[in-house]
Chain A
């Protein structure tokens, strides 16, 4: 009522304002605020993507070549992709699962409770706590001479590193990655989980359903898109993580971002910048595949989502 009532009034004041073109110009002004962001995306996302796509197909002298793409199926490169994939899938799956469980546990506290507020605050800090700082924190606590390592050995006689020093190799990435993956999941999943209405669980109960009935028929289907979205974000997050691994892994280039660095700056294998392009291209392809899978899932739930 009020809407339809006020519309003509607004229209009247527009036209009385003068020139017709002014109306559309006025509508553009709020859009101007987006310009810095749009430029940023253009310079640091779109252009690099196009470059990655193109450099992958050209050699240094600018001639078209399949060589770089062919290099992708080189056993070492394949192994690197394999490493990147499993570490990302594993830490994304674990992070998503544990994060979701943490959210579920938090749900029993009121949104205004101090515990919930502080877990959410800590999560938003930890979710950004990747990189060299994080690597250092782990080296200082569970490194070879770390505080906890020494304590465990001296007090309990437990050796954290009976054989290989796994912290500085691929498996060593799992714990540090989870350290930012879980909080990131808590941040992204909490809003969806608190969106479950109490009236749904109560309706389920009065209709004779058990708590398992509720989760199977309502809770999980309703949360699936948000969970998958969170998983995807976590995957992308560790798939592209560089600094933590760079600081922790001492030898070799076990994951794709490290391999790209090697290809860009290596002095022993000169002139392989274009391999870096091909590697980046490989990463983009993997992300696109995942995004497609995600949007397929979204499409399935779109019919009941607003």
Chain B
């Protein structure tokens, strides 16, 4: 892994979005987007459909012109630099291999436009193909490859020119689950190997959590919160982020003497809230326990569904108070549908928000 190959990278460069706004007529796709990406970092842009992830990525690539704001790569303002001079590698969501060129010709494409001599071109393309595990597929055409293989070639084609930044717009979304995780991990491995700054667009939180150094959660054209997967998971700063990362249920309770009553327990708050305010708390399945109806504590309810996840189970309970809540528990407990149970909160202290 440490032997210097011809493709050994310069270390990555930084990327800045500064108050970037993009309007399509009356529609604001990006609304003052600010984002700082460190050299060599793998950042995932995560958010629901239509929040502006693709627009952000395409603006950085130069495929869309921004309405206002600045884009900096390695400290250089590239806002007005045309696409073909930004020196970025991009992999698209739809298959984009040139159909009239075979695999190696596709990979060599960017080297040709850079006038790299033929012998070096072929050597570098072949080396990159081997890196993505397609060393033996050089002579094939796109229609002779599976979707996953096509995306691997697209990745090799984007990386072979040693671009400053790698941009990935949901490159895995057309693939089936197994190939997805496999290729996702492979992208991460190659990225670490090359040390290239990478922006990865996805709407799949599991994908983002698995590969990114940091995740930027986007909402309505700007970043709601950026942080490591752990930070986002443990300390979501907004309800939107809490809702988007991991599964959780929203509970509400009135603040009384600095505490709130949740699932039949009095709980302390990490930060004080005014007396009588309606506090909103997100509880994750792993912070809850399923208890027996007769002998346990907590709020009563009935089991709606229960799914087996290997070592654990997730059970949805319809509480008598009318709310549905998801509880994670050991796979050894096998609740039956319609069985009466109780749900208990495992935390003693929670972070609540007031709207």
A binding-site residues for B, Cβ under 8 Å = 197, 199-200, 202-210, 213, 217-218, 221-222, 301, 303-306
Contact = CB atoms under 8 A, between A and B. Distances in A.
Contacts of B86: 206
Nearest to A301: B100
Contacts, number: 81
Nearest to A203: B96
A159 B107 CA distance: 60
9 contacts: A206-B63, A206-B90, A208-B85, A208-B87, A213-B113, A217-B101, A222-B98, A222-B100, A304-B99
A303 B102 CA distance: 10
B92 A207 contact: no
Contact of A209 (B90, B99, B113, B143): B113
Given A206-B90, A208-B87, A213-B113, A304 B95 contact: no
A209 B154 CA distance: 16
Given A208-B114, A218-B101, A304-B102, A203 B143 contact: no
Given A202-B63, A203-B98, A208-B110, A304 B88 contact: no
Contacts of A199: 92, 94-96
B283 interface: no
A54 B62 CA distance: 66
Given A199-B95, A199-B96, A304-B99, A206 B88 contact: yes
Contact of A203 (B82, B92, B102): B92
Given A203-B92, A208-B85, 13 more contacts: A202-B63, A202-B92, A203-B96, A206-B86, A206-B167, A208-B114, A209-B110, A217-B101, A217-B109, A218-B100, A221-B100, A304-B100, A305-B143
A205 B89 CA distance: 10
Contacts of A205: 62-63, 82-84
A203 B58 CA distance: 12
Interface residues of B, number: 34
B293 interface: no
Interface string B190-222: 000000000000000000000000000000000
A197 B109 CA distance: 17
A305 B96 CA distance: 15
B84 A210 contact: yes
B24 to A, nearest CB: 14
B92 A208 contact: no
Nearest to B157: A207
Contacts of B84: 205-210
Contacts of B88: 206
Contacts of B104: none
Nearest to A208: B113
A263 to B, nearest CB: 47
Contacts of A222: 98-100
Contacts of B113: 207-210, 213
Most chain-A Cβ atoms within 10 A of its Cβ — which of B62, B109, B143? B109
A148 B315 CA distance: 83
B338 to A, nearest CB: 32
